[in-house]
Amino acid sequence: NAGVTQTPKFQVLKTGQSMTLQCAQDMNHEYMSWYRQDPGMGLRLIHYSVGAGITDQGEVPNGYNVSRSTTEDFPLRLLSAAPSQTSVYFCASSYSQGSVYGYTFGSGTRLTVV
């Protein structure tokens, strides 16, 4: 059982380039989300999905797109990379059983935009 798998682990982009960060989970979780982590800022929500075909914006969505064609995958696309998007990106998946939620995070993608 792999949990939440993120690829790549490290990436360097030039300003203006586009790329896709991959996230896959094998736990059949309905909810998936993307966070970015910056020094001193904690984790901030970018986009989330409550199920296949449904996505919504979080706190900091500008410059990012997502889609959810399957339950397992939730890719994050950077349309035109900017230095302000240098960060560590975490994907998470979660289930809900009434009021009980289980969140599992991936190990992160460290992105540098130069």
CA 104 centroid distance within chain: 12
The reply on whether position 2 binds other proteins by CB under 8 A is no
> Can you tell me whether residue 84 is helix, strand or coil?
helix
Distinct helix (H) and strand (E) counts, the chain: 0, 11
- Smallest distance from other proteins to CB 112, Å: 15
Binding pattern for the stretch 57-76 against other proteins, x by CB under 8 A and - elsewhere: -xx-----------------
> Can you tell me whether residue 102 is helix, strand or coil?
strand
From 15-23, 48-56, 61-69, 70-78, give the range in contact with other proteins by CB under 8 A. Answer: 48-56
Structure letter (DSSP) for residue 30: S
> Can you tell me whether residue 10 is helix, strand or coil?
strand
The reply on whether position 94 binds other proteins by CB under 8 A is yes
Q: What is the C-alpha separation between 28 and 8, in angstroms, rounded?
A: 22
The reply on whether position 31 binds other proteins by CB under 8 A is yes
The reply on whether position 52 binds other proteins by CB under 8 A is no
The reply on whether position 27 binds other proteins by CB under 8 A is no
Among 1, 2, 28, 40, interactor with other proteins by CB under 8 A: 40
The reply on whether position 100 binds other proteins by CB under 8 A is yes
